[in-house]
Amino acid sequence: MRSSMLPAFASILLLCVPTTAEQMTALFVVGAACSDAMYADKIYKERLERQAYTVTLIKDSDEGLKEACESHDIMLISASISGGAVNTQLNDCTTPQMIWESRLYSYNGMQVSPLDEALRVTSAFFHENHEVAFKGPEQVPPYPTGPEFHITQNGSESPLAGGLTAGPADFWTVNDYGMNYIDVSQLGKGAHVVAILPPSKTSEFPVKPEGEKATLFYYEKGDELCGDLGRSPAFRIGWPAFGFCYGASPSCEEVANTKCVDNSCQDNCQTKEQIINSGVNPSPLSCHGMQTLDSAISTLTQEARKGKAQPAQQKSLIQRHLPAEEAGIPMGSDGAAFIQMPRSDL
């Protein structure tokens, strides 16, 4: 078992929970193809609500995504969405965000563009059931590398590591759940890598087997992106999980129109009803995985507060330098006081 700085992490988490007086909002972008949008993604909504967020669901096909993004404190984008449906609509949104649909990374500059699916996800289902579009082994998504990710030395110093020290740690409780990954050479110059796939497992990948594969990474607002997309307009987290509406594998409903060799996708899928009735956990995060998720939400909260704290601080200072009658200070008071500035680092 991995050691972790649980007491310190727990303190940070508690400090980052919004208070009742400071109710915060989260926009959650989900796939229009999911008739039950909160099945595999339910755990994310629950963890947001544990940190006192009001969660608004919006489908990838809905109009007004950019406006909805800007009107919320933070935004999460599920892997259940269609990257093509969202496309570049959210590229300029300034709201802190967490994304686990890796196709968006190419659209918004978090990775070089374009990248085949095999160069950005692992998947048991599509490793075994090939789409007609796969023209060779280099286009087949690798099989999942197991339950672990590997916290980097620099990553262990980030709050996103959830208090974990550098080295391997369980992210899943199962061996065959998919993960997003990007070779570090294909990230923007401003990217900060928190965790990679286990190097011992990626040495057999068909493309760039020698490179480190980032699976949890982030860009600070203002960090340099890929290509000509300039600098990141927001704090953005690339989240590891790669899955579908109802779990690690797509339902028959999701692959109904997917062209696969010998119709293997359609022959080897389960319906939504079969998946749900199986009782299999659709998002089997380990304790460490859950800890990392909570830390990611807390970090987004912290980033969202940065934009809110400054105006309040400025107003407080201005009030203290106004004449007493303009500042609203009762007559007869000399106006002298120590100012307790809000802490924007919580």
pLDDT digits over 240-261, tens only? 999 999 999 999 999 999 999 9
pLDDT of residue 195: 98
N-term to C-term CA, the chain: 29
User: Residues of the chain whose pLDDT is less than 50?
Assistant: 1-15, 20-21, 312, 314, 316-346
From the list 251, 253, 310, 288, the residue with the least C-alpha distance to 125 is 251
pLDDT of residue 17: 55
Range 258-266, long-range pairs (CB < 8 A, 24+ positions): 258/131, 259/131, 259/132, 259/133, 260/129, 260/130, 260/131, 260/132, 261/129, 261/130, 261/131, 261/132, 261/134, 264/128, 264/129, 264/130, 265/125, 265/129, 265/131
pLDDT of residue 114: 83
Q: pTM of whole model > 0.75?
A: yes
pLDDT of residue 310: 56
pLDDT of residue 51: 97
Q: Please give the Cα distance from 257 to 121 (Å, whole number).
A: 21
Instruction: Please give the C-alpha separations between residue 296 and each of 75, 117, 126, 257, in angstroms, as whole numbers.
Output: 12, 25, 28, 35
Beta 148-151 vs 192-196: how paired, if at all?
Answer: antiparallel
- Residue 166: enclosing H or E segment and its boundaries? none
- Residue 71: enclosing H or E segment and its boundaries? none
Eight-class DSSP state of 147: S
Please state which of the four CATH numbers 3.40.50.880, 3.30.365.10, 3.30.300.210, 3.40.190.10 is assigned to the domain occupying 7-123+131-248+283-306. Answer: 3.40.50.880
pLDDT of residue 207: 87
Beta strands in 197-282, from DSSP E residues, in sequence order: 213-219, 236-238, 241-242
Beta 24-30 vs 53-59: how paired, if at all?
Answer: parallel
Q: Please give the Cα distance from 38 to 34 (Å, whole number).
A: 8
pLDDT of residue 328: 45
Strand, helix or coil for residue 193: strand
Angle formed by the axes of helices 42-50 and 287-321, nearest 10°:
40
pLDDT of residue 174: 98
pLDDT of residue 12: 43
